[in-house]
Amino acid sequence: MSTSLPTLSELTEYPVIQAPMAGGVSRPELAAAVSEAGGLGFLAGGYKTPDAMYKEIRQLRRLTRRGFGVNLFMPQPSTADPAAVEVYREQLAGEVTWYETELGDTEGGTDDAYEGKLAILYEDPVPVVSFQFGCPSRRVLERFEKVGTYTMVTATTVAEAQTAQWAGAHAVCLQGIEAGGHQGTHRDDPQADASVGGIGLLSLVTQVKESVQLPIVASGGLMRGGQIAAVLAAGASAAQLGTAFLVTTESGANPLHKQAMTNPLFTRTELTRAFSGRPARGLVNRFMREHGPYAPAAYPQIHYLTAGLRKAAAKAGDPQAMALWAGQGHRLARELPAAQLVEVLAAELSVAREGMSPRGGAEGGRE
């Protein structure tokens, strides 16, 4: 790792990172509020054109001079079965009629304009870039290091974390099975759907800590400062929270999505392919129950297929057909301004650390 690059602890005042949530949630206002409060705010580059991503970066820079990150989706292999996608399209015919909308075109690219986004981030570097759904090549990560960008790769297993280390990433973001939204697995294996699959966050952090010599960012179900203290004690350098920030004032999440986090109507979460064709954790609603068992492994084709339906459901005020991404800790969500949430989490973390050390205030967990 280049000695000129900052460490995670130098990038943030507190070991609190706001997860990059695609689909309009992680907008510049949210990332700026988190960074200004001493955390690390993130923009989500996924599902955006390179130009739209760059516009958000410029907007964020006008809102804060502090460090921030941008998340990119890795290109996906074209392994989807067109016939299975068409069968699923036919299954959704009733939804189309009910919401008076159309299903989307599934013939688009599977690379999420990756190369175009890389070109922008090489030309006008940002402090941190993270990657989802795979690991970049060593060439890409070395290029980022040369321009002074700190890189982080999402991993869900020890093997994926080892791949990130081999490729030259500066840190690994470990995503436990508790996490909301898409699982960041490097390879989407439909065979894994038949089992419970996935590793809990604390077990994952411990296993990777003993196998990989990279700073660890822990993510999955974290909603309180005490939980952050736990993953830091297990060996993480920082914690990444998504669902906790989804309900904040600055979040771009639909109000129905925010309300659903603590709505007694939604009691649990599950992993599903129903909305995107890739395993993602969300609140169990009607759409997930009716279509989840039949959704094929076809990402991002199913994401684009259902995009219009999800928008139509939101417009109709019906959360039962929206993708209500949420982690297992969703009932602990607190509707606060993002800066206040960072402060509360930092205070809870301080109290928890004092309670964990007989000497009062352990300093472990940071680089």
What would the pLDDT profile of 4-25 be if each residue is shown by its tens digit?
A: 788 888 999 999 999 999 999 9
Residue entry with tokens 């074209």 = 78
| CA–CA dist 237, 277 (Å, integer) | 32
Over 90: is that where the pLDDT of 361 sits?
no
pLDDT mean over 83-101: 96
pLDDT mean over 26-53: 98
Over 60: is that where the pLDDT of 366 sits?
no
Please report, for the chain, how many H helices and E strands are present, in that order: 15, 11
Residue 72 dihedral angles phi and psi, to the nearest 5°:
-120, 145
pLDDT mean over 164-180: 98
DSSP assignment, residue 328? Answer: T
**pLDDT on residue 359:** 59
**pTM of this prediction exceeds 0.85:** yes
Which two tokens mark 29?
């206002």
Q: How confident is the model at residue 224 (pLDDT cuts 50, 70, 90)?
A: very high
Cβ atoms 114, 74 nearer than 8 A? yes
Over 80: is that where the pLDDT of 37 sits?
yes
Residue entry with tokens 């954790």 = 281
Looking only at the bridges linking them, the beta strands covering 269-272 and 280-283 are antiparallel
| CA–CA dist 79, 286 (Å, integer) | 28
Cβ atoms 172, 217 nearer than 8 A? yes
Residue 290 CA to its chain's centroid (Å): 25
Identify the helix (H) or strand (E) that includes residue 125.
none
| CA–CA dist 13, 109 (Å, integer) | 39
How much is the mean pLDDT over the chain? 94
Q: What is the largest CA-CA distance in the chain?
A: 65
**Of the candidates 11, 16, 25, which has an alpha carbon nearest to the alpha carbon of residue 227?**
16
Q: How confident is the model at residue 3 (pLDDT cuts 50, 70, 90)?
A: very low
Over 70: is that where the pLDDT of 93 sits?
yes
